[in-house]
């Protein structure tokens, strides 16, 4: 039988009133037996308070949703009109370029070799690809690259990943490790974290066999890859094992609640709010997971004792505010941290490609050498 909730609450309120009236009558009778004096009139410094009125709760749907003070769509259109073509094409998905350069085929960079090793994970073995420069002087530093893709992309190894990772080898003078961790299509949170931490511990435990220097292990990635790398750095600290030498966190997800102001302002830019919410919902097992520091590392109890970090965010991306906030938490905890914000840059703008030319953008060409210099300082040749 279905109960009308309003009638049920009314019955309960009536029953409560009846019980209250009986209790009040009983207490008055007791007061008359025990206290023979005439009751004193209460003295109020001000007029007596008025009796409370009824509680009024709006009917769902009867109140218009809160609106932003700023008209972000009008601001978006203004920006579209004002910026140059390259900035327009990389920021606004609804503005197609007049033509598109063909995508590069990928593959290993010259002078880099690659091979796979097996890692013991919580759900069995999984592969991790090691990229090593030819003629490397060992032991060599290594970068653990936890790839992005919304926790669900880039499963397996393909020529694009070979090109990216072997590019790091050339730019930083180190080896690179790329774990093929379980993605959200295969297993929900925290499966990918468990696999990535297993990959990190594999590097620590097989340093001599791999020819690497475990005191010079960098870790990082972009977007959701930065999220995983951040959590692994926290786990390494808490487990009291060798901590990463450096964290490279670009366009990172540090808060899966997805509710900062930049999510409103840049909801229709390079990484739309709808996509950010969709991949987050697909990754997590339940709503409460957004409050778990392993999904929202900005909620970790303390940042003290973490590895040095290099954080990059685009000025015009939904992840900007949480990147700033995570930087602030690290800085306030005394962590050696550098924050770089790309003016008018989109999600992933540090490595953006001009869709017309097929070449890195002007901003990327100017800024990536700075990133490379910092990374070489921590994990490059000695």
- Which tens digit of pLDDT belongs to each residue from 6-27? 332 333 334 444 434 444 344 4
Phi, psi at residue 248, to the nearest 5°? -110, 105
Is the pLDDT reported for residue 263 higher than 80? Answer: yes
The H or E element containing residue 317 is none
For helices 224-239 and 191-205, the axis angle rounded to 10 degrees is 60
Residue 83 carries which DSSP code?
S
Q: For each of the domains in the chain, give its residue range(s) and CATH number, in order of start.
A: 112-379 (3.40.50.1820)
pLDDT at 9: 33
pLDDT at 46: 64
48 vs 46: CA distance, rounded Å:
6
| Residue 252, C-beta contacts closer than 8 angstroms, at least 6 positions apart | 222, 223, 226, 227, 230, 311, 313, 319, 322, 323, 326
pLDDT at 64: 83
Is the pLDDT reported for residue 281 higher than 90? Answer: yes
Least confident of 93-97, 103-107, 238-242, 356-360: 103-107
Q: Residue 40: pLDDT band by 50, 70, 90 thresholds?
A: low
Average pLDDT over residues 55-78: 87
- 45 or 62, greater pLDDT: 62
* Mean pLDDT for the chain overall: 89
Average pLDDT over residues 241-253: 98
């Amino acid at each position: 039988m279905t109960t009308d909730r309003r009638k049920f609450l009314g019955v309960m309120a009536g029953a409560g009133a009846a019980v209250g009236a009986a209790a009040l009558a009983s207490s008055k009778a007791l007061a008359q037996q025990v206290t023979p004096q005439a009751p004193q009139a209460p003295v109020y410094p001000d007029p007596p308070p008025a009796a409370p009125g009824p509680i009024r709760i709006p009917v769902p749907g009867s109140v218009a949703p809160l609106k932003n003070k700023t008209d972000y769509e009008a601001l978006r259109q203004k920006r579209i009109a004002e910026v140059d073509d390259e900035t327009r094409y990389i920021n606004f998905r609804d503005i197609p370029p007049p033509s598109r350069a063909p995508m590069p085929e990928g593959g290993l960079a010259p002078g880099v070799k690659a091979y796979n090793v097996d890692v013991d994970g919580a759900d069995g073995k999984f592969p991790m690809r090691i990229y090593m420069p030819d003629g490397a002087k060992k032991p060599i530093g290594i970068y653990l690259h936890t790839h992005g893709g919304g926790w669900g992309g880039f499963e397996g190894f393909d020529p694009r990943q070979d090109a990216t990772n072997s590019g790091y080898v050339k730019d930083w003078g180190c080896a690179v490790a790329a774990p093929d961790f379980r993605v959200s299509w295969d297993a929900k949170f925290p499966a990918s974290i468990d696999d990535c931490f297993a990959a990190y511990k594999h590097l620590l435990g097989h340093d001599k066999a791999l020819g690497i220097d475990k005191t010079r292990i960098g870790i990082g990635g972009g977007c959701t890859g930065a999220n995983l790398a951040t959590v692994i750095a926290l786990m390494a600290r808490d487990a009291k094992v060798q901590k990463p030498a450096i964290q490279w966190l670009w366009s990172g997800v540090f808060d899966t609640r997805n509710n900062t102001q930049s999510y409103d302002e840049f909801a229709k830019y390079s990484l739309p709010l709808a996509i950010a919410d969709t991949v987050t919902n697909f990754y997590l097992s339940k709503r409460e997971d957004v409050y778990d520091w392993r999904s929202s590392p900005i909620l970790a109890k303390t940042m003290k004792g973490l590895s040095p970090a290099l954080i990059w965010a685009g000025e015009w991306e939904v992840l900007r505010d949480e990147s700033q906030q995570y930087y602030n938490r690290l800085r306030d905890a005394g962590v050696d941290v550098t924050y770089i914000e790309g003016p008018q840059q989109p999600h992933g703008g540090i490595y953006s490609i001009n869709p017309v030319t097929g070449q890195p953008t002007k901003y990327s060409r100017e800024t990536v050498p700075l990133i490379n210099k910092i990374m070489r300082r921590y994990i490059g040749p000695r």
